[in-house]
Amino acid sequence: MDTTTPSARPSRDPSRHAAPQVFDYLRERIIALELPPGTLISRAELQDLFGFSSTPVRDALLKLQEEQLVDIFPQHATVVSPIDLALARQAHFLRRSIELEAVRTIALDDGHAAVAGRLETVIEVQATLLARGDLPGFETTDREFHRTLFDATGIQSLWVMSRRYSGHIDRIRRLHLPMPGKAERVIREHRAIAAAIASGDAAAAQEALRSHLSNSLAHTPELRERWPAYFRD
């Protein structure tokens, strides 16, 4: 596990418990493919990196195992797990089901124009980040766009739940994002969703969202052919 570069070195937050800090650090690096499938994770190195004892490191790895983002082989090794296509499909189904109802609810609500304005603000930030070539920032803002749908519908706890199941499909998206035209298409599709919400057209908002999310798994065969070791059925 490469923790030697400055960008990889985490900052400790004394106001937070230790295990969640290790968990968040590792999860973000796994999702970003900085720790790709098959990477060995050293518990001793993590202890040195954070200055924590073995207990929070162990607890963080167990939580990652619950999300099936690492495979733990007792007394042997901890390894970043392959992208599980079955889990990715389940996460996609869950997110699509929730967000289709969310955009319908928002579009039919009296405050739909205000929510559309918030979405447009996020889109403008995305466009700026893309122009700078900042794909990690673009990806973070992409999540913010979708989180806005959950917040506007008052279902924030479901966002937490969906994120817990999203690790495998998020890695597929991260593999796909640098491909030519992908990020530009995301912005166009986000604008279509926001425009439908702004007009109060629930059916159009759902159709725009369905079209947007349909791309999440569409290119998996191509990605799997390019990175076969990253995937498992």
pTM equals: 0.89
CA distance 136 to 157: 25
Element spanning 40, H or E = strand 40-41
What's the confidence (pLDDT) of residue 215?
87
Tokens read off for 9:
């070195």
CATH 1.10.10.10 fits 6-81, yes or no: yes
The domain 84-232 belongs to what CATH superfamily? GntR ligand-binding domain-like (1.20.120.530)
- Per-residue pLDDT tens over the stretch 147-158: 999 999 999 999
Residues 6+ apart with CB under 8 A from 167: 27, 30, 31, 67, 68, 69, 87, 91
Contact 138, 229 (CB under 8 A): no
Q: What is the mean pLDDT of residues 86-106?
A: 97
Q: What is the CA radius of gyration of the chain?
A: 19
pLDDT bin (cut points 50, 70, 90) of residue 8 is low
Residue boundaries of the structural domains of the chain: 6-81, 84-232
Contact 123, 187 (CB under 8 A): yes
